């Protein structure tokens, strides 16, 4: 990843094959979390990419907010 995105940007973690939200960059690692909340994890910048506009819309539409009624 060339430039760090703002927090909340949807990324794709290529090692886990999941979409996630960027939280922070610390000590050379990106802090990521599942869309809608959950436990954070770290990834190397080379192991993620920005989600496309269409991927972002699909990822956000498919995940309820943490604590939301189902």
Phi-psi region of 10 (alpha: psi -120 to 50; beta: other; left: phi over 0): beta
pLDDT of 66 strictly over 90: no
**What tens digit of pLDDT does each residue of 4-60 get?**
899 999 999 999 999 999 999 999 999 999 998 899 999 999 999 999 999 999 998
Identify the DSSP state of 22.
Answer: E
SS3 content of the chain, % helix, strand, coil (to 5): 15, 35, 45
pLDDT score recorded for residue 6: 95
pLDDT of 70 strictly over 60: no
pTM exceeds 0.85: no
**HSE toward the beta carbon, residue 66, CA cutoff 13 A:** 7
pLDDT score recorded for residue 69: 54
């Amino acid at each position: 990843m060339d430039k760090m995105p703002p927090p909340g940007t949807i990324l794709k973690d290529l090692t886990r094959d999941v979409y996630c939200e960027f939280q922070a960059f610390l000590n050379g690692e990106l802090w990521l979390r599942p869309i809608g909340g959950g436990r954070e994890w770290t990834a190397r910048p080379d192991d993620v990419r920005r989600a496309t506009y269409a991927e972002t819309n699909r990822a956000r539409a498919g995940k309820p907010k943490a604590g939301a009624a189902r």
